[in-house]
Amino acid sequence: MHSMVPLALMATTIGFAPTAQVYDARIYDRDSRLLAEARFDAAGDTFTVTKRSADGGRAYLEFRYVRVDGTVQTGRHQGPATAGASVSFGHDFGEGRRLTFRVCVTEVHGFNPCSGTAAGENWTVAYA
């Protein structure tokens, strides 16, 4: 009789989904000053883009998402041009689906620098 209690508890805990994650991407200039950052909040399928530096152009975010049917959805969201300002964009991605994103700044030193990761990639991996 006692052996059924742990089975019942196990069955109820297996159904819980993992807690929602928040993923960040940041872009720095050559002097290690933070230019802009982007965040993906999996709980609300929301991107937020924030311009951090008064130098340079407008912050923007690019994303890639592979739908269940295998097609790829790509997008770009214009962020603010004013330092300290943020803007958010909502989506409805499939639960647990993988997506990648990066934050960039227009016209800084003659090119558009974008965020990078410790692995040398410039796309942050996130899960909806």
- pLDDT bin (cut points 50, 70, 90) of residue 113 is confident
Is residue 118 one of the residues assigned to a domain?
yes
Please check whether residue 112 is in contact with residue 104, taking contact to mean a CB–CB distance below 8 angstroms: yes
Residue 64 has pLDDT above 50, yes or no: yes
Is residue 14 one of the residues assigned to a domain?
no
CATH number of the domain bearing residue 110 = 2.60.40
Is residue 3 one of the residues assigned to a domain?
no
Residue 74 has pLDDT above 70, yes or no: yes
Is residue 115 one of the residues assigned to a domain?
yes
**pLDDT per residue as tens digits for the range 2-38:** 433 333 333 333 343 455 799 999 998 888 889 999 9
Pairing of strands 34-41, 46-51: antiparallel
Is residue 15 one of the residues assigned to a domain?
no
Residue range of the domain that includes 42: 21-127
Is residue 6 one of the residues assigned to a domain?
no
Pairing of strands 98-105, 59-66: antiparallel
The DSSP result for 27-55, as a single string, is EE-TT--EEEEEEEETTTTEEEEEE--SS
Is residue 102 one of the residues assigned to a domain?
yes
The tally of domains found in the chain comes to 1
